[in-house]
C-alpha cells in the first residue's frame, strides 16, 4: 500500500464540482508532481489532504490509517506537512516563533525541554538559510524569504509526507535552481513529497512520477517523460507553459 492513498475524492462547492472522483497514490520516498491549469482543483486537493476541507465523497488513507474526516491538527500530528503557494506565516511574530509553533505543538504527548525545542527551531532556520533572520518579524521578509520560512514551518512538525504548493513559482532562475537542489535534499532525508508546480522544467528534473489534473479529474499519470509528451496534457496546457 502506498504511503498516501486517495480513492474517489470529490469536492462540491455549492453546484460547482471542484474534484470529481480523483484517485491518487503516493509511494513512500517518491517525489510525485501534480500539474494542471489554474482552477483544475490542485489546491482543493491539497486542502482536502491536509484536513482544511472535508471531501464530499471519497476516502483518504495515510500510512495505513484512514484520515478522511480528521481535523488539520490530527493530520499534522500523523505526519503530513504542507506549504502554501502564497506564504501564510504568522506575520506579527518573529521568524523564530513561526518555526517554534510546529516544533512545540506537533505532538500531543511530545514531552521535550524548551531548550531542545529552541535548538531544533534554530537548526530548521539554518536548513532553509534563515538563521540570520530569526528575530525579524515575518511581515518584513521578502518573497523569497517567505518561501523559505514557509518550508521551515512545514518541516517543523517533522512530517513524513510534505505537500508543497508551488515552491518554485515567482522565483528567479537562480532561486529555482536552489529549489531543485532542495527537493533533492528533502528526498535524501527520506521524505515523501507531493508537489504542485507550474514549471515543467522543475518537475521534469525532480519528480519520479507526475499526475495531471484537469477540470477536477486526473487526465494523466505516469513517468515525467511519458506525461509531458502526452498530447492530452499539451492540450490542457496550451499557452500555460512559461
- Structural contact between residues 89 and 108, judged by C-beta atoms closer than 8 angstroms: no
Q: How far apart are CB 196 and another protein at their closest, in Å?
A: 16
Exposed, middle or buried, 231 (CB in 10 Å: 0-12/13-18/19+)? exposed
DSSP-based three-state secondary structure for 186 = helix
Site map 23..52 versus another protein, x via CB under 8 A: ---------------------------xxx
Site map 163..182 versus another protein, x via CB under 8 A: -------x------------
CB neighbours of residue 64 within 10 Å:
9
Site map 108..127 versus another protein, x via CB under 8 A: ------x-------------
Dihedral angle over CA of 47, 50, 56, 62, nearest 10: 140
Binder of another protein out of 82, 133, 148, 209 (CB under 8 A): 82
- Whole-number Cα distances in Å, 138 to 73, 126, 142, 168, 212: 22, 16, 9, 20, 34
Stretch that binds another protein, among 17-25, 79-87, 196-204, 215-223 (CB under 8 A): 79-87
Among residues 74, 77, 27, the alpha carbon closest in space to that of 54 is found at 74
Q: Extract the C-alpha cell encoding 69.
A: 474526516
Stretch that binds another protein, among 20-28, 140-148, 192-200, 203-211 (CB under 8 A): 140-148
Q: Which residues contact 205 (CB under 8 A, 6 or more apart)?
A: 180
Among residues 126, 87, 121, 92, the alpha carbon closest in space to that of 104 is found at 121
Binder of another protein out of 3, 67, 100, 211 (CB under 8 A): 100
Q: Does 90 bind another protein (CB under 8 A)?
A: yes
Q: Could you say which residues in the range 145-164 bind another protein, by CB under 8 A?
A: 146, 153, 156-157
Q: Does 102 bind another protein (CB under 8 A)?
A: yes
Query: Of the two residues 92 and 238, which places its CB atom closer to another protein in the complex?
Result: 92
Q: How far apart are CB 152 and another protein at their closest, in Å?
A: 11
Q: Which residues bind another protein (CB under 8 A)?
A: 50-52, 71-73, 76-77, 81-82, 84, 86-93, 97, 100-102, 104-107, 114, 142-144, 146, 153, 156-157, 170
Amino acid at each position: 500500500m502506498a504511503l498516501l492513498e486517495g480513492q474517489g475524492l470529490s469536492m462540491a462547492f455549492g453546484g460547482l464540482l471542484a474534484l470529481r472522483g480523483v484517485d491518487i497514490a503516493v509511494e513512500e520516498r517518491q517525489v510525485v508532481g501534480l500539474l494542471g491549469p489554474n482552477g483544475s482543483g490542485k489546491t482543493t486537493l491539497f486542502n482536502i489532504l491536509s484536513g482544511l476541507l472535508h471531501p464530499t465523497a471519497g476516502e483518504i488513507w495515510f500510512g495505513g490509517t484512514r484520515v478522511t474526516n480528521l481535523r488539520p491538527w490530527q493530520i499534522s500530528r500523523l505526519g503530513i506537512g504542507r506549504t502554501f503557494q502564497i506564504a501564510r506565516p504568522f506575520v506579527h511574530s518573529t521568524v523564530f516563533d513561526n518555526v517554534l509553533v510546529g516544533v512545540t505543538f506537533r505532538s500531543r504527548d511530545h514531552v521535550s525541554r524548551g531548550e531542545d525545542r529552541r535548538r531544533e527551531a534554530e537548526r530548521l532556520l539554518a536548513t532553509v538559510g534563515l538563521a540570520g533572520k530569526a528575530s525579524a518579524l515575518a511581515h518584513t521578509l521578502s518573497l523569497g524569504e517567505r518561501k523559505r520560512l514557509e518550508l521551515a514551518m512545514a518541516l517543523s512538525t517533522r512530517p513524513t509526507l510534505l505537500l508543497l504548493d508551488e515552491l518554485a513559482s515567482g522565483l528567479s532562475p537562480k532561486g529555482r535552481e536552489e529549489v531543485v537542489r532542495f527537493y533533492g535534499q528533502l528526498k535524501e532525508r527520506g521524505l515523501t513529497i507531493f508537489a504542485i508546480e507550474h514549471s515543467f522544467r522543475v518537475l521534469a528534473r525532480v519528480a519520479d512520477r507526475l499526475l495531471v489534473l484537469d477540470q477536477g479529474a486526473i487526465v494523466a499519470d505516469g513517468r515525467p517523460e511519458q506525461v509531458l509528451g502526452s498530447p492530452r496534457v499539451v492540450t490542457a496546457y496550451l499557452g500555460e507553459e512559461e
